[in-house]
Amino acid sequence: MGKVGWRLISVGNCARAPSVRFELSSFALLTRYLKETSSESGTTTAAEEESMWVIDAGDNMMGRLMEESWCGLEGLRRLKGIFITHLHGDHVFGLPSLLSAVKRAGGKQKVTIIGPSGMRKWLNPALWVGAPDLGVRYRILELQYTPYWTRNWNFHPSESGYKIVSMSDDGKWDLSEYIGTDHFEVKAAPLRHGIPSLGFVFQKPGRKLVVLGDTCDSSAVESIGKDCDVLVHEATFTKSEAQIAQRAKHSTAEMAGNFAKKIGAKTLLLTHFSSRWLKDNQQETFDGVRLSLEDPVSGLTLRNVQKINPYHGLTVILNEAKEAFGSESLYAASRNLEIEL
């Protein structure tokens, strides 16, 4: 990606279900910048600074990150922030282990955790009991959504800050001042799901990335997500399962395509596939050939793109989304699929 830029990498694409390769829907965003330092003599030197941001952290997120050459121990030392879209177990139960690993990987940084109200209620007791000697500082930002989980647990000795961020008058949260970098901005908007769920919008000059949590109605993201380069959207069910989707407050592939079209997304990345489609392992789903390509619509470079096996049910999901989107620029978030931004 050259000297500076972003890499959005899929770390899993499953909705929760017990399966052999339990790769729950989650992403890593690697950001690289030149950091300029001025010496007393007036000379300026620039060094690369790479940070890792994680979006959702279900069971074994740490193990999955450790498996990858782009992360490993070094990656954990660069982990700056964790964005949690919502508090269902398949998106958060790996959080205590991930945090516990940072010190053991040699990390000394402070980690910021951003998500809906209620995180602290269970994360602090979990860390108190399971990791009293956590060894890295963390800061929790809870986005106040509804009067949901208001009661909080004791302060943890490693907790270096706790803040409840109220919604702005426009119904969004502006998180830019909390992420400790002026290289990009982050906003969040509420999604409709069984419990409070969030969509995050990451923006830097010339690039916009939108990552949505589980949702059955994302209209609040529209204004801040408009004309994004990449939209990550769940596609748990097919059109024929629309009633199940409605009950479970999830999206069909068609809904994902419609929303991508509505906000003018250039590229749509689908994830959070039901175990109905993914069966027990991803080898059966994808053809295993990893392609690098330049997307003809968005002009973005993608790596590790895999085709879905033509006989596999997941093609239905992709086709329904494509028809609604009215564009060919869409992909299933197979493990390690990477988009340069």
Q: How far is the CB of 253 from a copy of itself (least distance, A)?
A: 22
Measured distance CA(202)–CA(93) in Å, rounded: 24
| 67 vs 177, beta carbon nearer a copy of itself | 67
Residue 158 CB neighbour total at 10 angstroms: 21
Nearest Cα to Cα of residue 191 among 170, 221, 162? 221
Q: How far is the CB of 66 from a copy of itself (least distance, A)?
A: 5
Q: How far is the CB of 213 from a copy of itself (least distance, A)?
A: 14
| 74 vs 170, beta carbon nearer a copy of itself | 74
Q: How far is the CB of 147 from a copy of itself (least distance, A)?
A: 15
Q: How far is the CB of 68 from a copy of itself (least distance, A)?
A: 9
Q: How far is the CB of 1 from a copy of itself (least distance, A)?
A: 25
Measured distance CA(265)–CA(325) in Å, rounded: 9
- Helix and strand tally (H, E) in the chain? 10, 17
| 35 vs 104, beta carbon nearer a copy of itself | 104
Interface contacts to a copy of itself, rule CB under 8 A: 16-20, 22, 58-60, 62-63, 66-67, 73, 76, 87-90, 92-94, 96-97, 100-101, 104-105, 118-119, 121-122, 125-132, 149, 153, 195
CA distances from 169 to 163, 166, 234 (A): 18, 9, 27
E-only strand ranges, the chain: 5-12, 26-38, 44-55, 79-83, 111-116, 138-143, 159-165, 173-174, 185-191, 197-204, 207-212, 230-234, 267-271, 291-294, 301-305, 330-332, 338-340
| 70 vs 153, beta carbon nearer a copy of itself | 153
Question: 115 Cβ partners below 8 Å, 6+ apart?
Answer: 82, 83, 84, 85, 86, 87, 92, 141, 142, 143, 198
| 92 vs 341, beta carbon nearer a copy of itself | 92
Q: How far is the CB of 214 from a copy of itself (least distance, A)?
A: 13
